[in-house]
Amino acid sequence: MTTRDIISWNTVIAGNAQNGLHEDALAMVREMGGAGLKPDIFTLSAILPIFAQYVDVDKGREIHGYVIRYGFDKDLYVASSLINMYSRCARVEDSIRVFKITRQRDTISWNSVIAGCVQNGMFDEGLRLFRQMLKDNVIPGSVSFSSIMPACAHLTTLNLGKQLHGYIMRCGFDDNVFISSSLVDMYAKCGHIRTAGWIFGGIKGRDMVSWTAMIMGCALHGYAEDAISLFEQMKLEGIRPNHVAITAILTACSHAGMIDEGRRYFDRMTEEYGIRPGLEHYAAMADLYSRKGKLNDAYQLISTMTTPTGTIWSLLLSACRVHKNVDLAEKVASKIFEVDPENIGARVLLSNIYANDGRWKEAAKVRMTMRNMGIRKNPACSWIEVKNKIHTFIADDKSHPLHDEINIALCELQEKMELAGYVADTSEVLHDVDDEQKKYLLYGHSERRAIAFGIMSTPAGTTIRVIKNIRICVDCHTAIKLISKIVGREIVVRDNSRFHHFRDGECSCGEYW
């Protein structure tokens, strides 16, 4: 073209930006400047996504400065690009600030800020904004739903997820693959693996993310065989797994103790799928070996990593506790404190390992170090949703309004359990107290209180769904199996890594967890 105006420049810049030719797009902006034309709102909203993708907040902020100098900050397009850029760069506060000072808002700018919150783990804030959007009479679009659904998945707020699902169907968005994948994930994470499978089966044009969400769902529920067959089917359909899909299949193997299968996927991932093992893959493998009791194999594997993290060593440390290997535990713990001195979980674990071995002095020393460092552990807690309200239980916390009734219900259950042959397993109670007190401590475990509350506040036959922030202890696992049989209920417990479905005295994990 002999004469180019701002529109012709912008058209080509956006074309490059949208097709991955980022450097060319940016070079053209400079060239355009050389030709005496200054970037306008179209130019800026076309190039801001580049800095969002490359997580380059310095460049993004430069653009923001330019935006303010030229008074472009009132523009909706520029605002949503800025909101998106800041949240992709993990600066949610900045992105919310841009949103708040933008008076004029539309669905897209709302979506940008909501997605930003959710992607950065601020689920409650995301939900609050979503509700505010509806209150302000802004019509949600399909993107609004696929942005908010992960919040329900992470918070395991099944009822809210279901309500949104209904809303999605009324809008006719249920054929959208982004939304269906997020629904598969939400239902699986909320314990409804069958509903997840049903939605997955109905997706037309499944993509890799849909498959991965379903595979991960199976992994979470311990259905490794299903996960493997889905993974193989996906490949047959010509879909190449990415690093997340591989993480999902390794997690599935790990939760079912399938060492050989897991090892095979891990060994072949680079040549078969062109993906180099990342932290998440090492973590899954370390977990697989650890849970299986192959502590030395886990140690070897982690040692081959260039920079193992505290999190990965911790997987092995918790296996040292289960398999009562104090020597290795000490070695592993020192590795953890080297890279991550603040690691609370590791110190708690180490102290418990000592306690379990009767080494109360060493255990107390670790606790003392923690106190001196001013760190406290998060308390174990369980929660259950009844009538749209989430009830939280912490061991020894008496604040629940039905505290006394729950205690009575637990006593009655305890009697029936003992009649059925239950003997409290106090071996995991790591306090230097006598057996009678140990039994009392077990009995106060948060998941039991949550389950007792669930049984008394729902009609007979209703499935009880409880979520817990740490692993179920051996004794509670035994107790819940019996409870499911005594009260004739299905009890679904999600701990920090997977689901347990208790029914008629059995658990779906088959004692492997």
- For DNA, give the closer residue by CB, 172 or 421: 172
Residues pairing with 385 in the sheet: 390
Q: Are 238 and 207 in contact (CB under 8 A)?
A: no
Shortest Cβ 390–DNA spacing (Å): 19
Q: Which one, 326 or 380, has the nearer CB to DNA?
A: 380
94 vs 185, beta carbon nearer DNA: 185
Task: Report the alpha-carbon distance of residue 181 to residue 203 in Å, rounded.
Answer: 8
CB of 107 to DNA, least distance (A): 5
What is the smallest separation between the CB atom of 76 and DNA, expressed in angstroms?
4
3-state secondary structure of 504: coil
Query: At closest approach, how far in Å is the CB of 48 from DNA?
Result: 7
Q: How far is the CB of 311 from DNA (least distance, A)?
A: 5
Smallest gap from Cβ 73 to DNA, in A, equals 12
Residue 491 phi/psi, 5° resolution? -120, 125
Q: 28 phi and psi, to 5 degrees? A: -70, -35
Rounded-to-integer distance, Cα 93 and Cα 81, Å: 15
Q: How far is the CB of 381 from DNA (least distance, A)?
A: 14
Burial of 448 (0-12, 13-18, 19+ CB in 10 A): buried
* Least distance between DNA and beta carbon 220 (Å): 8
In the complex with DNA, the residue whose CB is nearer, 391 or 498, is 498
Q: How far is the CB of 318 from DNA (least distance, A)?
A: 13
CA 81 from centroid of its chain's CA atoms:
26
Nearer to DNA, 158 or 283 (CB): 283
Query: What 3-state class would DSSP assign to 323?
Result: coil
Closest CB to DNA among 311 and 426?
311
Of 48 and 329, which CB lies nearer to DNA in the complex structure? 48
Rounded alpha-carbon distances, angstroms, from residue 338 to 284, 314, 335: 22, 13, 5
Q: Which is nearer to DNA, 80 or 484 (CB)?
A: 80
Which residue intervals of 340-445 are DSSP H helices? 344-356, 360-373, 403-419, 435-443
Torsion of CA 311, 315, 320, 323, to 10 degrees: 170
Nearer to DNA, 145 or 393 (CB): 145
Checking 45-49 for CB contacts under 8 A at 24+ apart, the result is 45/75, 45/77, 45/78, 45/80, 45/81, 46/10, 46/13, 46/14, 46/17, 46/18, 47/13, 47/17, 48/78, 48/81, 48/82, 48/84, 48/85, 49/17, 49/81, 49/84, 49/85
Name which of 181, 196, 45, 200 is nearest 112 in CA terms.
45
Nearer to DNA, 128 or 398 (CB): 128
CB of 132 to DNA, least distance (A): 15
What's the closest the beta carbon of residue 207 comes to DNA, in angstroms? 6
> Do 393 and 450 meet the contact criterion of CB atoms below 8 Å apart?
yes
Q: How far is the CB of 40 from DNA (least distance, A)?
A: 7
Closest distance between DNA and the C-beta of residue 17, in Å? 7
β-sheet with 464-468: strand ranges across: 389-394, 381-386, 464-468, 491-494, 499-503, 506-507
Q: Pairing mode, if any, of strands 389-394 and 381-386?
A: antiparallel
End-to-end distance of the chain based on CA atoms, in angstroms? 67
Q: Cβ closer to DNA: 248 or 450?
A: 248
Number of H helices, E strands in the chain: 26, 6
Query: What is the full DSSP assignment across 36-57?
Result: T----HHHHHHHHHHHHHTT-H
Classify residue 112 as exposed, middle or buried by CB count within 10 Å of its CB (0-12, 13-18, 19+).
Answer: buried
Q: Which is nearer to DNA, 111 or 351 (CB)?
A: 111
Cβ distance to DNA smaller for residue 151 or 320: 151
**Which residues are CB-contacts of 408 (< 8 A; sequence separation ≥ 6)?**
none
